[in-house]
Amino acid sequence: MKELPRKFIAGALLVACTGLAFAAPESKGQTANIPAIAMFLLFVGITLGITYWAAKRTKTASDYYAAGGGITGTQNGFAIAGDLLSAATLLGISSLIFAKGYDGFLYCLCLIVAFPMILFIMAERLRNLGKYTFADVTSFRLSQRPVRTTAAISSLTVVIFYLIAQMVGAGQVIKLLFGIEYWIAVVIVGVLMVIYVTFGGMLATTWVQIVKAVLLITGGTIMALLAFAQFGFSFETLASKAVAVHKDGIKILAPGVMFADPVSAVSLALGMVFGTAGLPHILMRFFTVPNAVESRKSAFVATGLMGFFFLMIGLIGLSAVVLVGTNPQYFEGGTIGGKLIGGGNMPSMHLAHAVGGNLLLGFMAAVAFATILAVVSGLALAGASAISHDIYANAIMRGTATEQQEIRVSKTASLGLGILAVILGILFEKHNLAFLSGLTLGIAASANFPVLILSMYWKGLTTRGAVLCGLAGLISALALVVCSKAVWVTVLGNPTALFPYEQPALFSMPLAFFIAWLASVLDNSESAARERDAFEAQDVLAETGYYRNPLAQH
Amino acid sequence: MSTDTTFGKIINHPQYAELVRRRKRLAWLLAGSTLGVFFSFVLIIAFSPKILAIPVSATGVTTIAVPIGVAMIFFFWILTGIYVRRASRDFDGLTDQIVREALK
C-alpha cells in the first residue's frame, strides 16, 4: 500500500501532462497558451507534492477528515476564502459587472455577509460540538440514525449539484483557455480531485486550497492594479470612461434591474447569506482547527480576504468595460458590442491579456483551472464524509466501525463521487445550468442551516423536528426551483412558470423553521423529553468546549 | 467519565451565567447589526434604488452606491475584528478559569 500513492501521483502527473500536451494542438479554433499550460503543470506538480506529503501524515480518521485539527486559524481563513472564491466568482461575478455594472457587485456583498454571521453565531459552537461533519452537531443530543441520514442526504444533494455546476464550468473554461477537448478537461479535473482527496484527505485538500487562494488573490490584485493604473488610480476617471462606453451608460453605477423585484431580491439575499452558512464543505473547515479561538480567527481572516478580493473583482469588472469592451480583438469578428470571444464568462481573462499580455493571461488561466480543482476537491471530501462518517459509520454501523474501515469507505466514496461528477459533467455539457447556483444555495439555506441553528440554540428541538425540518427544506427548495422559470420553462420547455420567482429561500427557509417548531412541540414522546433535557449539557459544552482543556484529557 | 460532574460544576459556577450572558449579548448585537445594515440595503435596492443613484459630487459620475458598497465590506470586516478582539480579551480567560476550577 505504501507505494500506491507515489505511483498514482506519478501516473496522474503523466495523465495531466499528456492530456494537455497532446490534446492541445488537435482542437480546432483554439490556440494553446504555452505559459498557461506551463504554469498549470507547475501547480499540479506542487499540489501532487503536497498530496504525497499529506498522505504520509494521514493515518487516523481525524487526520483524514479534519487534518488532525492541526490547521491554524490564518491558514483556515485562506482555505475558507478559497472555497468561496471559485471560478464562478472570478469569471462569473466579474462578467456580471462587465455586463450589468453594480448589480454584479451586489453578489459579492451577499456572499461576504455570510461570514460575519457564521462567526457571531456558529463558528465557536461548531468547533466545540463537532468532530468531522456538521451532522455531528445537529445529531449531538438527538437520535443519530435519522438525523444524520437526513443531514447526509441534503449534504450530498448540495455537493452533487455544486459538483455538476463546477464540472461543467470547468470543462468549458478549460476547453477555451487551454484549447483541449471538453471531456478531457472534465476527466483531468475528476482524476486530480480523486487523488487529492483519497490520498491526502483534508490536509492535502486544505493546502491545495490555500496555495490556490494565494495565487488567485495575488493574480487578481496584480490584474486589478495594472488595470487601475491605466486610469491613473482614479476611480472617478475609470467610472466616467466606463459610463461613456457602456450601452447602459450611467445606470451601471447603481443597482438596476436584477434586484428590482423586492421578493426576488430578499429571497436571493437570504439564500446567499444563509445558504453559504449551510454549505457542508465550508462548515467542515471549522473542524480542521484545534479550538474555538482559531475557529474565530479563521472567520475573521476569511472575511478580510474575501472583502479585499471582491474590491479587486469590482475594479476588474469595471476596467474590463473600458479595456475589453472597446477593443475589437476580444469580440468575434471584431464587432465591438457583439459576442465576446469565448463567451460571456471571459471578460476577466481578456482583461488579463489586455493589461498583462500572454504571460498574465496564462497565469490567470492556470489560476482558474487551479481554482476549479481546489473547490471540487473540498466538495468531494465533504460528500465522501457525509457518506462514510454520517451514513456508514454512524447510521449503518452505529459507531462500531473501526477508523480504518471508515476511512476506506470514505476513499471509496470519493472515488465514486469523482466518477459520478465526471459522468454528469459530460452529460450536462450542453445544458443551461443557470438554476444550479440558486438551487444549491437554496437547499443549503433551507435544509442545512435551520437544523443547525435550531440544534445549537433551541432546547425544544427534537429528532422528529430536526428530520422533518431537513426534509421540508430540501423538498420545498427543490420543488420551488423545479417550478421556477429557470427549470420549468427554460429546461422543461413549458410556457409559463408555476412559481413566479427564481429563488426559493424566502419561502422554503421559513417553512423549514415552521415545520421544525411544529413537529417538535407536538412531539410528546419520552425520547423527545430526554432530548430536551440533554440540551443544557450540550449548551455548556458549546459555550466552553471544556473537554478540550488539557485537564479533561484523562 | 467525569463529564457529568464537570458539567454540573460549570453550570453552577458563579461566573458561568455571566460569561454566557455577555457573550450572547455581544454576538447577537453584532449579528443584528450585520443583518440590519445588509437587509436595509437590500430593501432600499428593492423599493427605491433611485436613492443610491445620487452622484457623490455634482461634477462626477460616481454614485453613492459605490462608497456605500465598499464601506459595507469594511464594516462587516471590522465587526468580525471587534468580535475576535472582544472574545479573546473578555471571554477566553474567563472560560479557561471556569473550566479549570470545574475540572479540579
The tens digit of pLDDT for each residue in A205-236 reads 999 999 999 999 999 999 999 999 999 999 99
pLDDT tens column, A164-198: 988 988 888 888 778 888 999 999 999 999 999 99
A6-12, long-range: CB within 8 Å, 24+ apart, which pairs? A6/A52, A8/A195, A8/A199, A9/A48, A9/A51, A9/A52, A9/A195, A9/A199, A12/A44, A12/A48, A12/A191, A12/A192, A12/A195
Q: What does the pLDDT average to over A253-261?
A: 80
pLDDT band for position A24 (cuts 50, 70, 90): very low
Contacting residues of A for B38, CB less than 8 Å apart: 109, 113, 269, 273
Q: Cα–Cα distance between A441 and A274 in angstroms, integer?
A: 8
User: Most B CBs within 10 Å: which of A540, A541, A549, A553, as the mutation test of the B interface?
Assistant: A540
pLDDT tens column, A506-516: 999 999 999 99
Contacting residues of A for B41, CB less than 8 Å apart: 109
Mean pLDDT, all residues of chain A:
88
Judged by CB atoms closer than 8 Å, whether chains meet at B53 and A536 is answered as no
> Which of B6, B60, B88 shows the shortest C-beta gap to A546?
B6
Contacting residues of B for A141, CB less than 8 Å apart: none
Residue A467 in this model has a pLDDT that exceeds 50: yes
What is the three-class DSSP state of A331? strand
Residue A388 in this model has a pLDDT that exceeds 80: yes
User: Most A CBs within 10 Å: which of B6, B13, B29, B45, as the mutation test of the A interface?
Assistant: B45
pLDDT tens column, A91-126: 888 998 999 899 889 888 988 999 999 999 999 999
Residue A549 in this model has a pLDDT that exceeds 70: no
A292 in Cβ contact with A127 (< 8 Å): yes
> Which of B10, B46, B103 shows the shortest C-beta gap to A540?
B10
User: Most B CBs within 10 Å: which of A113, A297, A541, as the mutation test of the B interface?
Assistant: A113
A26-35, A463-472, B45-54: range with lowest mean pLDDT: A26-35
What pLDDT score was predicted for residue A436?
83
Q: Cα–Cα distance between A147 and A139 in angstroms, integer?
A: 6
Q: Cα–Cα distance between A505 and A268 in angstroms, integer?
A: 7
A491 in Cβ contact with A432 (< 8 Å): yes
Q: What does the pLDDT average to over A334-358?
A: 88
Q: Cα–Cα distance between A371 and A193 in angstroms, integer?
A: 12
Judged by CB atoms closer than 8 Å, whether chains meet at A544 and B31 is answered as no
CA A196 to each of CA A78, A276, A363, A410: distance values in angstroms, whole numbers, following the listed order: 18, 24, 22, 13
Q: What does the pLDDT average to over B30-52?
A: 91
> Which of A109, A113, A254 shows the shortest C-beta gap to B53?
A254
Cell, residue A233:
488610480
Contacting residues of B for A113, CB less than 8 Å apart: 34-35, 38, 76
For residue A134, the distance in angstroms to the closest alpha carbon of chain B comes to 21
Q: Which of residues 8-47 of B touch A (CB under 8 A)?
A: 10-11, 16, 19-20, 23, 27-28, 30-31, 34-35, 38-39, 41-43, 45-47
Q: Cα–Cα distance between A261 and A3 in angstroms, integer?
A: 59
For residue A196, the distance in angstroms to the closest alpha carbon of chain B comes to 32
Contacting residues of A for B45, CB less than 8 Å apart: 106, 255, 259, 265
Give the number of beta-carbon pairs within 8 Å between A and B: 161
Closest CA to A368 of A191, A100, A189: A189
Judged by CB atoms closer than 8 Å, whether chains meet at A269 and B35 is answered as no
pLDDT tens column, A275-328: 999 999 999 999 999 988 899 999 999 999 999 999 999 999 999 999 999 999
**pTM as predicted:** 0.91
User: Most B CBs within 10 Å: which of A544, A549, A554, as the mutation test of the B interface?
Assistant: A544
ipTM greater than cut 0.90: yes
pLDDT band for position A11 (cuts 50, 70, 90): low
List the single residue in A with minimal CA-CA distance to B95: A544
For residue A315, the distance in angstroms to the closest alpha carbon of chain B comes to 11
Judged by CB atoms closer than 8 Å, whether chains meet at A121 and B10 is answered as no
Task: Return the axis-axis angle of helices A3-26 and A34-57, rounded to nearest 10°.
Answer: 170
What pLDDT score was predicted for residue A413?
94
Judged by CB atoms closer than 8 Å, whether chains meet at A293 and B92 is answered as yes
What is the three-class DSSP state of A345? coil
List the single residue in B with minimal CA-CA distance to A551: B103
For residue B78, the distance in angstroms to the closest alpha carbon of chain A comes to 9
Q: What does the pLDDT average to over A466-487?
A: 93
Judged by CB atoms closer than 8 Å, whether chains meet at A303 and B11 is answered as no
- Which one-letter amino acid corresponds to residue A42? L
A230 in Cβ contact with A236 (< 8 Å): no
User: Most B CBs within 10 Å: which of A119, A293, A297, as the mutation test of the B interface?
Assistant: A119
According to DSSP, residue A401 is labeled: S
Judged by CB atoms closer than 8 Å, whether chains meet at A536 and B11 is answered as yes
Give yes or no for B58 touching A (CB within 8 A). Answer: no
What pLDDT score was predicted for residue B4?
66
CA B67 to each of CA A234, A318, B81: distance values in angstroms, whole numbers, following the listed order: 14, 15, 21
